Chains A and B, each alone.
Chain A
């Protein structure tokens, strides 16, 4: 720490205490891998949001004259595929779709998992046992097969993919939340709220859930890549996003089948998916270290 910084913290007349979150943020920003990942992820999100408008081709624009164009020719920065569609445009759209699926499905799993886990943990007793038993049973199901069955059964529309993956991912979340709730519910502030005459619902919503935030935030950043992976996996098997729509999974799958002819169709989407997943994992690890420094 430099002298200047020391002076800066001492100089103000009233010394302000640092909250838990200030501490966590400082630790997170000191973690170089996490910081770099946050910047990279910011760039990726920006590209996914505005990128498709900057590329002069649409993701589904077929161009029979320019099929199998290698990168950096005929104005196609990353080349084209068998139908002459611009890979950059498709990659940006695919990134957008994958990120959206990751976000929405994670939100679904977050809502179900937190509600389920907090309720079970707070109510305790027989209800808790029954609710967690249910989670245990679901855990022992070969769930990816159920997702595949769902996709096959009801057709692969995008909303269903969101819901199906989210419904699979909530289990771990509910376990984490329940464990935290069990330790939280005996704290003094809950007792105080109870003494003040607050109802159960209000206590869960206003006192338990906000205090769960730490571990939940960490788990969310690790769920998003898991969801993106699950969607890509489904897309790879031909059960996810349907053509001409693209996701990172469909692009890798398409690239894999044409890799002898056009290796760039495999390499670029692979790099994007790996970088995306890596960013989320580094941020998740960084957050865990920042919020819970004893595990370092």
Chain B
């Protein structure tokens, strides 16, 4: 088990390196520079600024410098926010994105699995049809449609919740963004759970459990659910990635100071180091989540052997 984890983490390093390399050279290939302001800098000043950030060296040398820095855990200074390092920005803003994303995935998991199980137990009945109709809607309505519509209806017209802002993560400010993020996930999770559950309920060992006279809640809750949520586990990695990209839109609409907002702005302003830092964090997160999903998969399904 530990060997497996170690091996997976080792494989993750070249992947991460590839991500860093691609992102680094793509950013640098872009026309423009972080020091293009409204006023053109004097050539001497520009040379000084470039020298300060080591950007007067050839690109290859800069790449090596950057890699050495990353290996030491130093993501460099921001090129736009003069008195902040990339780590500062990440530390300040990442917890906000994380709090939003985690709340959304937890809520989506609980609601989605419950709905899916309910639908599967009453297959082709009214409950099932309603849940599946809602699930189709949830998949088809993009976050950038639900978010403004909810703001317009619930926040602006009814005035029940604040329209935007973070307010240090106060509950009323969290409700709408989390709901918007969770809705499409609830839809997908309930569909996956339903499909898995229906398949499992026909399995031989469930019939055996029934024949033994086990109470229904034990059959469903203990034996069936465990196998039925397997497809869900492999979905969760990409789902978190989806939440991350979803949060780009949600953070913009609700004007939240999370990382998503920074990504687009920093990319547009050519703030190379900030963009790189964010790409690295997200890529590492996805790799870790995929590993976690595989471990969980093996824990749930004894037939799966980690090798």
Contacts and interface: CB of A to CB of B under 8 A. Distances in A.
B65 to A, nearest CB: 21
Contact of B22 (A146, A237, A239, A277): A146
A232 B141 CA distance: 12
B30 A153 contact: yes
A282 interface: yes
Contact of A263 (B139, B152, B278, B279): B152
A39 interface: no
Interface of B: 15, 18-19, 22-23, 26-27, 29-30, 136-137, 139-142, 144-145, 147-149, 151-152, 156, 241, 244-245, 248-249, 252-253, 263-264, 267-268, 275, 278-279, 282-283, 286-287, 290
A225 B137 CA distance: 13
A266 interface: yes
A38 to B, nearest CB: 16
B15 A266 contact: no
Interface string A222-251: 000100010011001111000000000100
23 contacts: A140-B287, A141-B283, A142-B245, A144-B245, A145-B263, A145-B279, A148-B263, A149-B26, A152-B30, A233-B245, A236-B144, A237-B249, A239-B264, A252-B145, A256-B144, A256-B253, A259-B151, A259-B152, A260-B156, A274-B141, A278-B137, A281-B136, A281-B140
A252 B27 contact: no
A253 interface: yes
Contact of B241 (A142, A146, A274): A142
A273 interface: yes
Contacts of B15: 137, 140
Contact of B264 (A148, A154, A277): A148
B140 A149 contact: no
A281 B139 contact: yes
A270 interface: yes
The winner among B18, B152, B253 for most chain A CB atoms within 10 A is B152
Given A140-B290, A142-B245, 14 more contacts: A137-B18, A141-B22, A146-B23, A149-B23, A149-B267, A149-B275, A150-B26, A238-B264, A259-B152, A266-B148, A274-B137, A274-B140, A274-B145, A281-B139
Contacts of A259: 148, 151-152, 156
Contacts of B147: 256
Nearest to A152: B267
